Amino acid sequence: MNFSYFRSLIINSYTYMKQITFLLTIALCTIITACGISDKDHEAQGQIYLQKARIALQHKKFNIAKQIIKDLRDSVPFAIEARKAGILLMDSIELRLAQEELNVINQRLMQSNNLSTDTLKNSFEEACQKIKFYNRKLIHDKHAIKAMK
């Protein structure tokens, strides 16, 4: 019995199947790319997230605003400009949080007795340092984003 014929038939079939698989893969990639969302659509979706976060920030819902920015990062990873703006917005959220914390500590400090004054002064100093840090970070991030453009 001549096995060389069967062997060549199997090898030819295998090569043929590899070619078909390769062509189908290319066709599938082309279809997926053609049906994909454009960069403008990504940016538009990112701007929606940013607008929601800004509204939450205006209403002093800081945790919600932070979560919306995190959702932006996860849901629209290709909205590069929106993500850059999200960095600045997150800095602004953290700054406003620190300012609110400072206001609360300041009110407590004004109303407190001498026993808890040292603890409140330490908290006050810490809140002041946070505000300074986020102000510097916000300025740094603005300059870094301008340098990228």
**Structural domain includes residue 117:** yes
Q: What is the pLDDT of residue 88?
A: 93
Percent share of the chain, pLDDT over 90: 46
Q: Which of 39 and 62 is assigned the larger pLDDT?
A: 62
Q: How confident is the model at residue 118 (pLDDT cuts 50, 70, 90)?
A: confident
Does 121 score more than 80 pLDDT?
Answer: yes
**Structural domain includes residue 121:** yes
pTM of the model: 0.66
Give residue 100's domain range.
38-148
Place of tokens 């300074």: 132
Domain count along the chain: 1
